[in-house]
């Protein structure tokens, strides 16, 4: 009974996660600030997370159904069934670790890009301060006029 309740809870969690991922993906597609490479990375992340959420839901169904029905099929069938369910859980764990690694790589890339933008901004601010200090925009006072 406990396995069936836990399986039902996993099913609900998986479906809710899929719904949340779908909403997030729709918002990300509508963002005009996204470039093609960023959108491509987000599309791959969306597919990976939808697969993981779907597998969580399937794992929940397998746990609930397995607990209720598989024991009637005999010990060997139950053993094979539960080994497959555990294998699916292991695969889900590996997908989660892959997602974590991918997010870390994306985060490092984004931080490096922000650092470059910050360095460029500092350079431009220093140049602006130099222009203000000189009191001109770098052109002659007469600006070519007599």
* pLDDT value, residue 111: 94
* pLDDT value, residue 29: 85
Q: What is the mean pLDDT of each run of 10 residues along the chain (146 residues)?
A: 88 95 90 81 90 94 86 88 93 93 91 93 91 71 54
Angle value at C-alpha 110, between 107 and 115, nearest 5 degrees: 125
Q: Which residue's structure tokens are 């690694």?
A: 101
* pLDDT value, residue 4: 85
Q: What is the pTM of this model?
A: 0.72
* pLDDT value, residue 42: 86
Question: Do the beta carbons of residue 48 and residue 98 sit within 8 Å?
Answer: yes
Distance CA 65, CA 4 (A): 7
Question: Do the beta carbons of residue 66 and residue 81 sit within 8 Å?
Answer: yes
Question: Do the beta carbons of residue 93 and residue 86 sit within 8 Å?
Answer: no
* pLDDT value, residue 95: 92
């Amino acid at each position: 009974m406990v396995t069936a309740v836990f399986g039902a809870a996993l099913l609900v969690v998986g479906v809710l996660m899929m719904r949340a991922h779908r909403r997030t993906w729709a918002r990300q597609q509508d963002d005009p600030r996204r470039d093609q490479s960023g959108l491509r990375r987000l599309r791959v992340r969306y597919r990976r997370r939808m697969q993981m959420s779907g597998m969580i839901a399937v794992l929940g169904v397998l746990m609930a159904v397995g607990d209720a029905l598989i024991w009637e099929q005999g010990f060997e069938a139950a053993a094979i069934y539960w080994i497959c369910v555990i294998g699916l859980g292991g695969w889900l764990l590996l997908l989660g670790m892959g997602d974590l690694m991918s997010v870390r790589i994306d985060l490092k890339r984004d931080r490096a890009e922000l650092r470059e933008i910050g360095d460029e901004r500092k350079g431009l601010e220093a140049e602006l301060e130099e222009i203000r200090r000189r009191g001109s925009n770098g052109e002659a006072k007469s600006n070519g006029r007599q």
